[in-house]
Amino acid sequence: MSNVSGAILVIAEHDNAALKPATLNAVTAAAKIANSLGGDIHLLVAGQGAEAVADAASKVAGVSKVLLADDAAYAHALPENLAPLVVGLAKSYGHVLAAATSEGKNLLPRVAALLDVAAISDITGVVSADTFERPIYAGNAIATVQSSDAIKVITVRTTAFEAAATGGSAAVESVAGTGDAGSAKFVGQELTKSERPELTQAKIVVSGGRGMQSGENFKLLEALADKLGAAVGASRAAVDAGFVPNDYQVGQTGKIVAPELYIAVGISGAIQHLAGMKDSEVIVAINKDEEAPIFQVADYGLVADLFKAVPELTSAV
């Protein structure tokens, strides 16, 4: 398999109306690879009626071309339909990247297997065009891995790369779709609605754990979050107990966040939770158990009953 150029293809994530910010982090990772290769960066927008997305994509700094594949088969990012499209295009590229979101993780390994190449998940660093850093064991070790495959298929941990700026003016080129594989059907979605910033994009995150005791008590955290302009997150225990929806979960198997400020309330600090937040700039922990492991990563630890401390904090900020 020969790749005709050192160009890099980044898969844009979107909802057919707007480009998702995670794409911008993936573009920055692509730019780091391009720096060592001198290659171009192209963005693929596959969707239905996604012209506005292609338009936004063309303005991302560093992107030289936008490929727009408009087809009803791509309306819901079903990997059964998208993978053949990406595989067809990938043969002209040296690298295929996407953000390590639920969508990117769903699609890229499927693409890699069809190309008979390894997939490199969740990179946090670019060492060179073929060598990358990625966390293993819930972030308790960092592996440096080298690929000898002709095409490198990579998902990018968004918190490890800045968002690319806007200011570009790439041309948009239409590409033909590959149709509906007919094996999977989108039935529906139940998206969590919130006025607050998105968890992975927020500058401040306030998270609650089992110590919150109920969904009702999360109102205490929401009041604090609203005052700080923060997003609300949770530990797995809080999600499993049904206090908040599953997409609030921060951790090894939930969302990875790295805000300027992370406030952990009633969370013990299991390694699986730390895996999702320990790269935050400033960490605050509020816990009544002074031995709780969360204090080992907290810049500021407050040993206190959360039901007293959180309302106090809310009125003090």
Ligand X SMILES: Cc1cc2nc3c(=O)[nH]c(=O)nc-3n(C[C@H](O)[C@H](O)[C@H](O)COP(=O)(O)OP(=O)(O)OC[C@H]3O[C@@H](n4cnc5c(N)ncnc54)[C@H](O)[C@@H]3O)c2cc1C
- Contacts to ligand X by CB under 6 A: 209-211, 235-238, 249-254, 266-268, 270, 272-273, 276, 287-289, 292, 305-307
Q: Say whether residue 101 binds other proteins (CB under 8 A).
A: yes
Q: Which residues 6+ apart lie within 8 Å of 23 measured at CB? A: 10, 12, 13, 14, 43, 57, 60, 99
Residue 117 touches which member of ligand X, other proteins, none, C-beta under 5-8 Å by kind = other proteins
Q: Say whether residue 188 binds other proteins (CB under 8 A).
A: yes
The amino acid that residue 241 corresponds to is A
Question: Of 257, 268, 213, nearest to 232 (Cα)?
Answer: 257
Give Cα separations from 243 to 79, 204, 225, 238, 248 (angstroms): 31, 21, 16, 6, 10
Q: Which of 114, 150, 172, 223 binds other proteins (CB under 8 A)?
A: 114
- Residues 221, 225, 226, CA angle at the centre, nearest 5°? 120
Residue 273 touches which member of other proteins, ligand X, none, C-beta under 5-8 Å by kind = ligand X
Least separation in angstroms between residue 295's CB and ligand X is 10
Residue 306 touches which member of ligand X, other proteins, none, C-beta under 5-8 Å by kind = ligand X
Touching other proteins, residues 129-158 (CB under 8 A): 131, 135-149
Distance CA 314, CA 228 (A): 9
Least separation in angstroms between residue 302's CB and ligand X is 9
Residues in binding contact with other proteins, number by CB under 8 A: 89
Q: Residue 279 has which token pair?
A: 């790269």
The amino acid that residue 111 corresponds to is V
Of 196 and 288, nearer to ligand X (C-beta) is 288
Question: Which DSSP state fits 212?
Answer: G
Q: Residue 22 has which token pair?
A: 């995670």
Residue 166 touches which member of other proteins, ligand X, none, C-beta under 5-8 Å by kind = none
Of 92 and 106, nearer to other proteins (C-beta) is 106
Give Cα separations from 150 to 3, 115, 130, 143 (angstroms): 7, 10, 10, 21
Q: Which residues 6+ apart lie within 8 Å of 15 measured at CB? A: none
Touching other proteins, residues 3-42 (CB under 8 A): none
Distance CA 290, CA 279 (A): 22
Identify any residues that bridge with 303 across adjacent strands, giving them in sequence order: 287
Least separation in angstroms between residue 308's CB and ligand X is 8
Q: Which of 62, 79, 94, 276 binds other proteins (CB under 8 A)?
A: 79
Of 89 and 239, nearer to ligand X (C-beta) is 239
Q: Say whether residue 253 binds other proteins (CB under 8 A).
A: yes
Question: Of 245, 247, 246, 251, nearest to 264 (Cα)?
Answer: 251
Q: Residue 1 has which token pair?
A: 């398999």
Least separation in angstroms between residue 228's CB and ligand X is 19
Q: Say whether residue 224 binds other proteins (CB under 8 A).
A: no
Least separation in angstroms between residue 66's CB and other proteins is 23
Least separation in angstroms between residue 39's CB and other proteins is 21
Of 56 and 107, nearer to other proteins (C-beta) is 107
Give Cα separations from 269 to 138, 253, 287, 290, 297 (angstroms): 13, 15, 10, 12, 9
Of 128 and 253, nearer to ligand X (C-beta) is 253
Least separation in angstroms between residue 264's CB and ligand X is 8
Q: Say whether residue 257 binds other proteins (CB under 8 A).
A: no
Question: Of 81, 39, 47, 83, nearest to 64 (Cα)?
Answer: 39
Q: Say whether residue 298 binds other proteins (CB under 8 A).
A: yes
